[in-house]
Amino acid sequence: QIVATGICHTDEHVLEGNFPNIDFPVILGHEGAGIVESIGEGVTSVKPGDKVIPLCLPQCGECSFCLNPESNYCLKCHLSESQSLLPDKTSRFTCRGKQVHHFMWVSTFAEYTVIPECAVAKIDAAAPLDKVCLLGCGFSTGYGAAINTAQVKPGSTCAVFGVGGVGLSAVMGCKVAGASRIIAVDINSDKFAKAKELGATDCINPRDFKKPIQEVLTEMTGHGVDYSFEAIGHAETMAAALASCNMNTGVCVMIGVAPSGSLISIDPMLLLTGRTWKGSVLGGWKTRDCIPKLVSSYLEKKFNSDLLITHTLPIAKVNEGFELLRAGK
């Protein structure tokens, strides 16, 4: 039973046709929290009544990536093959007798869903499901990109491109890691008050400048930032984020999902001088191991992801939620 679900831009990418390996009709949603209603044969890690977070990135615990302590990408993941059906190649959803597809094996825009055991994590019974649902994707992705993927050092300077839910979570991660300067970059200045509340020290709108934003950031910081994060999903902002970090020791982390088929053109000198360019999937967390620990950290008030919640709507108004997302609200 799904109790609460966040709306993430990845769901919107599917609607725009920018996400690979999707079959329609499909029940979207991948950032949820709920309560186990019943379990199938052989399931041992959860039981009816347990509070859980469905995992859009599974952790099978058996593939070579799951067995590698440095990897969090499971080879059963949707980026490797379509997850429009469950692992047994069936769909458990029908509408008026016709098959409806699953999304990333979780499909949280439904009151009830069926999920493989490797794609669900049992969490603390005290967790408020309408708050910790964000840990299923958005918060964990941005926060982990700073903590795990970049491994931001105390006293460093950071730039975060795009301060929606994921970017704001990256800001929170940079702050927890001890960054001394965190620069939020967005073309929607309405987002800056929240960014400052969560730890941004500077906020800049690229539309306020006549020169490329990477030049602005380089001038602001001397030689570029120590860490940059792209949380939008545009090829041009990914290239700008790379160019805005220090030419030798700078680390740029790509979090945003670019439209399927996108290509990036960059000057090889940007990397030849020593910069590091990394991707991050779900913040680098091994999901079944780490999401329950993040929920415990939330309960211990180590971070306040509640500040990311702007609206609460009933599931019947999910389309209004998408309209608010598109409007930048």
CATH of the domain at 231: 3.40.50.720
Contact assessment for residue 27 and residue 98, using Cβ atoms and an 8 Å cutoff:
no
Same domain, 20 and 33: yes
Look at residue 26 and give its three-state secondary structure: strand
Compute the distance between CA of residue 10 and CA of residue 233 in angstroms, rounded to an integer. 10
Please enumerate in sequence order all residues whose Cβ is within 8 A of that of 302, keeping only pairs 6 or more positions apart, or say none. Answer: 176
Give me the DSSP letters along 39-75: --TT--S--TT-EEEE-SS---S-STTTTSTT----T
Sign for the pseudo-dihedral over CA of 312, 120, 281, 83 = negative
Question: pLDDT category, 83, cuts 50, 70, 90?
Answer: confident
Same domain, 39 and 134: yes
Same domain, 256 and 288: no
Same domain, 209 and 295: no
Same domain, 156 and 132: no
pTM: 0.96
The tokens 């211990």 sit on which residue?
Answer: 300
Same domain, 180 and 69: no
Same domain, 134 and 15: yes
For 249, list phi and psi in degrees, rounded to 5.
Answer: -110, 5
Residue 230: CB atoms within 10 A of its CB come to 30
Residue 111 has pLDDT above 80, yes or no: yes
Compute the distance between CA of residue 94 and CA of residue 87 in angstroms, rounded to an integer. 17
Q: Is 144 among the domain residues? A: no
Label residues 265-292 b or e (16+ Cβ within 10 Å = b).
Answer: eeeeebeeeebebeebbbbbbbbbebbb
pLDDT above 90 coverage of the chain, percent:
92
Q: Supply the mean pLDDT for the chain.
A: 96
Q: What is the pLDDT of residue 80?
A: 72
Compute the distance between CA of residue 267 and CA of residue 10 in angstroms, rounded to an integer. 29
Same domain, 128 and 181: no
Q: Is 318 among the domain residues? A: yes
Residue 25 has pLDDT above 90, yes or no: yes
Same domain, 29 and 97: yes
Same domain, 7 and 92: yes
Same domain, 124 and 181: no
CATH code, domain carrying 77: 3.90.180.10
**Per-residue model confidence as pLDDT tens digits over 175-234:** 999 999 999 999 999 999 999 999 999 999 999 999 999 999 999 999 999 999 999 999
Token readout for 86 is 């469950």
The tokens 């670019």 sit on which residue?
Answer: 258
Q: Is 242 among the domain residues? A: yes
Give the count of domains, the chain.
Answer: 2
Task: Choose among 33, 27, 30: nearest CA to 10.
Answer: 30
Same domain, 128 and 10: yes
Q: What is the pLDDT of residue 79?
A: 75
Torsion-angle region of residue 105: left (phi > 0), alpha (psi -120 to 50) or beta?
left
Contacts for 198-205 with beta carbons within 8 Å, 24 or more apart? 198/168, 198/171, 198/172, 198/307, 199/171, 199/172, 199/174, 199/175, 200/160, 200/163, 200/171
Domain assignment of residue 313, given as a range = 2-138+284-327
The arithmetic mean of pLDDT across residues 243-254, rounded, is 98
The arithmetic mean of pLDDT across residues 272-291, rounded, is 98
Question: pLDDT category, 163, cuts 50, 70, 90?
Answer: very high
